[in-house]
């Protein structure tokens, strides 16, 4: 089904036809009998599900929470409260498909097992249905002419009476359970916006720590000696820098400002690595502190040799290479071409009194594992050449570029992209603003070109993609695996993940200013936010935001909101606050269930990786977004201004755990 069909109301739905269809399908023997053998292929292997719980807070003098009481009074009269049982805790977990879930459990001995087991049972049922081709064919035949349509919907659970939270459909984002829990109470982001203003960037150090733990598990299992350096350039937040320091890892700095940030937080020089292009002044600071320098070019290496001879102690260096074989040889402005490696060796031999040659590095502008394996294979071959002339490289640095898990539903993303292409060709409804092509071009009746957005359908997170690199086979090493070759040759493994460490660890909040209709009938929702504060460079962000609606007669539930039939979804364009035609937050439609109005909140998730900081400006004298760190506590969540010294000049803002 093309994506844009989801916006249309489900008309002509025939309940009687649906009942007949279900009756036809539910024949005896469709599923194994309760006392029959376990269907192992459908249920899958045993699995462990990690979950977190948070106690629900009842209203004083009652066993019900405030939203439960409100629902009871509004929709269940005259049922008395004593006839109603209540959940006692909220449960958050990622199911076996990696999808974040929120459920509730009661005071029984099974507790959280109940919602988790129900979810896993549902997944097993879906898999069984998907694997039954005959059943699928019967469903297709029975469905013809019934008016039945697929109509997927997602909703964040709960929230107090003052706010309702909905995830727009179309490009549903993956949301970390902690972030989902925070946003599920709309009063929390509303309180933070009231205090720090719109727009507002939120960072979640606990999510950073969880991402780091996934990398460490893979590396610990590999048996390698390793060093992780957080790539500071991904986000300027000091909360992430402090989290890296406290976790005992290193930090990768790419500017004098980032070096100062790391030193101010407390990083010793021995745990700092410098990457990227560096001028004479920056190199002088690095050499003075004997920070490990990832050399970008022959001039830098020569300059470090000169500086090293004027100071006590040799400067530790790695040499970044580029121009590898195969697809890994894509053109890059960074690194020394592998073909110039003989010149590198000569400089290293001549300057061995001034620099300590640690090893080789690469950082490819791709997340493709095959290209990284090719680059690692080429570097190990060059290791042998260095050893043959008396040098002793002992580190292989593979840089960053590990993957992020962006979307909740990869199929929905693929459907949207296809629908956008259909809109460009005239075979479907246009989904972009003012004919924007999202980087594609239409020629010869077909869509060509490279889009201006990431491969958002990826569901492989950073730690898993690291495992794929370490398990990859190296053609130049007899087909042995990467980790095996490094272990056998006692080569230390370094990496500098950035975006994968802050994956799902950031949210940008913005207030809705107004909604309006454009001349072509398009609906525009204007936000107190500009595109440069949410979109890195010229890229399009293809993730739906979370909409936090407020209730009341003047809000979107009031008389000013055009009527929307149940189940209908409307497409809106999100506009920015700059007086510039180009300031569209997104150039593609976002599908919403209700038209947002003044005072509503739009929460853009997974914005920590470059989006918050890379292009943010004060254009037209609009304010820069403040940055606030959010962490969980025994009182719910605590939010505090992200400051360089880690000290608070104003009280922390405690937001209590929301009842559900």
Length of the chain: 660
* Cβ atoms within 10 Å, residue 249: 20
pLDDT of residue 141: 63
Fill in the DSSP letter of residue 584: B
Say if CB 347 and CB 386 are below 8 A apart. Answer: no
Would you say residue 530 has pLDDT above 80?
yes
Higher pLDDT, residue 545 or 555: 545
> pLDDT tens, 123-141?
777 677 666 777 666 666 6
C-alpha span between 647 and 18 (Å, rounded)? 62
pTM over 0.85: no
Most confidently modeled of 35-44, 349-358, 399-408? 349-358
Q: How far is CA 598 from CA 511, 560, 576, in A?
A: 7, 11, 14
Stretch 295-304: mean pLDDT = 97
Provide the β-strand partners of residue 573.
524
Most confidently modeled of 135-144, 155-164, 442-451? 442-451
Question: 94: which 2 tokens?
Answer: 């990622």
C-alpha span between 508 and 535 (Å, rounded)? 11
pLDDT of residue 553: 39
Phi-psi region of 232 (alpha: psi -120 to 50; beta: other; left: phi over 0): alpha
Would you say residue 113 has pLDDT above 70?
yes
First CA to last CA distance, the chain = 35
Find, among 598, 463, 615, 470, the residue nearest to 541 by Cα.
615
Higher pLDDT, residue 447 or 562: 447
pLDDT of residue 130: 66
Question: 358: which 2 tokens?
Answer: 């640690």
> pLDDT tens, 629-650?
999 888 789 999 997 444 444 4
Say if CB 426 and CB 446 are below 8 A apart. Answer: no
Stretch 230-254: mean pLDDT = 97
Say if CB 412 and CB 376 are below 8 A apart. Answer: no
> pLDDT tens, 323-352?
998 766 688 899 999 999 999 999 999 999
Residue 504 CB burial class (10 angstroms; 0-12, 13-18, ≥19): buried
C-alpha span between 511 and 535 (Å, rounded)? 17
Question: 496: which 2 tokens?
Answer: 């500098």
**Domain 163-204+505-656 in this protein, CATH class:** mainly beta
Stretch 245-269: mean pLDDT = 97
C-alpha span between 244 and 208 (Å, rounded)? 9
Q: Can you name the CATH fold of 206-404+459-495? A: TIM Barrel (3.20.20)
> pLDDT tens, 474-529?
999 999 999 999 999 999 999 999 999 999 999 999 999 999 999 888 999 999 99
Say if CB 631 and CB 638 are below 8 A apart. Answer: yes
Q: What is the DSSP string of 280-329?
A: HHHHHHHHHHT-EEEE-SHHHHHHHHHHHTTSSSPEEEEEEEE--SGGGG
Would you say residue 168 has pLDDT above 50?
no
Say if CB 520 and CB 504 are below 8 A apart. Answer: no
Find, among 418, 410, 344, the residue nearest to 383 by Cα.
344
Say if CB 246 and CB 230 are below 8 A apart. Answer: no
Report the share of the chain in percent with pLDDT over 90. Answer: 50
Higher pLDDT, residue 110 or 101: 110
* Cβ atoms within 10 Å, residue 128: 17
Average pLDDT of the chain to the nearest whole number? 82
Q: Where are the domains of the chain?
A: 3-143, 163-204+505-656, 206-404+459-495
Confidence of residue 411 (pLDDT cuts 50, 70, 90): confident
Q: Which residues of 466-476 are buried (b: 16+ CB within 10 A; e: fewer)?
A: bbbbbebebeb
Stretch 184-189: mean pLDDT = 92
Report the share of the chain in percent with pLDDT over 70. Answer: 78
pLDDT of residue 75: 57
């Amino acid at each position: 089904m093309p994506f844009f069909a989801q916006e249309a109301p489900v008309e002509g739905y025939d309940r009687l036809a649906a009942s007949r269809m279900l009756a036809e399908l539910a024949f005896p023997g469709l599923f194994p009998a309760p006392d029959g053998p376990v269907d192992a292929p459908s249920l899958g292997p045993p699995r462990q599900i990690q979950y977190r719980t948070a106690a629900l807070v009842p209203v004083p003098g009652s066993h019900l929470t405030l939203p439960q009481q409100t629902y009871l009074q509004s929709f269940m009269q005259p049922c008395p409260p004593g006839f109603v049982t209540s959940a006692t805790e909220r449960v958050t977990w990622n199911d076996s498909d990696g999808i974040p879930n929120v459920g509730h459990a009661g005071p029984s001995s099974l507790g959280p097992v109940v919602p988790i087991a129900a979810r896993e049972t549902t997944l097993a049922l879906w898999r069984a249905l998907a694997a039954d081709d005959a059943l699928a064919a019967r469903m297709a035949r029975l469905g013809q002419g019934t008016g039945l349509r697929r109509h997927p919907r997602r909703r964040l659970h709960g929230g107090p009476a003052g706010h309702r939270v909905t995830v727009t459909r179309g490009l549903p984002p993956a949301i970390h359970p902690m972030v989902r829990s925070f946003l599920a109470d709309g009063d929390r982001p509303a309180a933070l916006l009231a205090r720090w203003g719109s727009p507002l960037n939120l960072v979640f150090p606990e999510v950073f720590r969880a991402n780091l733990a996934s990398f460490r598990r893979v590396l610990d299992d590999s048996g390698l000696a390793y060093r992780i350096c957080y790539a500071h350039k991904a986000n300027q937040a000091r909360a992430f820098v402090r989290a890296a320091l406290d976790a005992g890892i290193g930090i990768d700095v790419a500017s004098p400002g980032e070096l100062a940030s790391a030193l101010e937080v407390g990083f010793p020089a021995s745990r700092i690595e410098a990457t990227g292009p560096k001028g004479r002044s920056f190199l002088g600071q690095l050499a003075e502190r004997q920070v490990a320098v990832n050399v970008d070019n022959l001039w830098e290496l020569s300059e470090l040799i000169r500086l090293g001879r004027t100071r006590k102690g040799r400067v530790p260096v790695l040499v970044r290479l580029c121009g590898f074989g195969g697809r890994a040889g894509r053109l890059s402005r960074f690194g020394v071409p592998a073909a110039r490696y003989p010149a590198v060796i000569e400089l290293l031999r001549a300057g061995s009194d001034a620099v300590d040659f640690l090893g080789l590095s690469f950082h490819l502008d791709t997340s493709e594992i095959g290209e990284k394996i090719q680059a690692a294979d080429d570097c190990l071959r060059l290791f042998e050449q260095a050893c043959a002339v008396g040098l002793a490289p002992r580190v292989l640095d593979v840089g960053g570029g590990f993957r992020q898990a962006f979307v909740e539903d990869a199929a929905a993303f693929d459907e949207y992209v296809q629908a956008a292409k259909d809109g460009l060709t005239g075979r479907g409804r246009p989904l972009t603003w003012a004919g924007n092509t999202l980087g594609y071009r239409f020629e010869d009746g077909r869509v060509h070109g490279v889009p201006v957005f990431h491969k958002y359908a990826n569901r492989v997170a950073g730690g898993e993609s690291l495992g794929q690199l370490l398990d990859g086979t190296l053609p130049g090493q007899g087909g042995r695996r990467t980790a095996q070759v490094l272990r056998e040759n006692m080569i230390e493994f370094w990496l500098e993940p950035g975006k994968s460490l802050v994956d799902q660890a950031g949210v940008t909040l913005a207030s809705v200013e107004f909604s309006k209709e454009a001349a072509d009938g398009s609906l525009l929702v204007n936000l107190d936010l500009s595109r440069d504060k949410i979109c890195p460079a010229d890229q399009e962000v293809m993730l739906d935001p979370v909409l936090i609606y407020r209730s009341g007669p003047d809000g979107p539930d009031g008389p000013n909101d055009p009527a929307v039939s149940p189940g209908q979804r409307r497409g809106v364009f999100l506009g920015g606050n700059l007086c510039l035609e180009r300031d569209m937050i997104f150039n593609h439609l976002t599908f919403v269930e209700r038209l947002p109005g003044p005072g509503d909140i739009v929460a853009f998730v997974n914005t920590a990786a470059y989006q918050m900081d890379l292009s943010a400006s004060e254009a037209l004298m609009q304010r820069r977004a403040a940055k606030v760190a959010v962490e969980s506590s025994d009182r719910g969540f605590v939010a505090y201004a992200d400051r360089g010294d880690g000290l608070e000049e104003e009280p922390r803002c405690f937001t209590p755990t929301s009842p559900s």
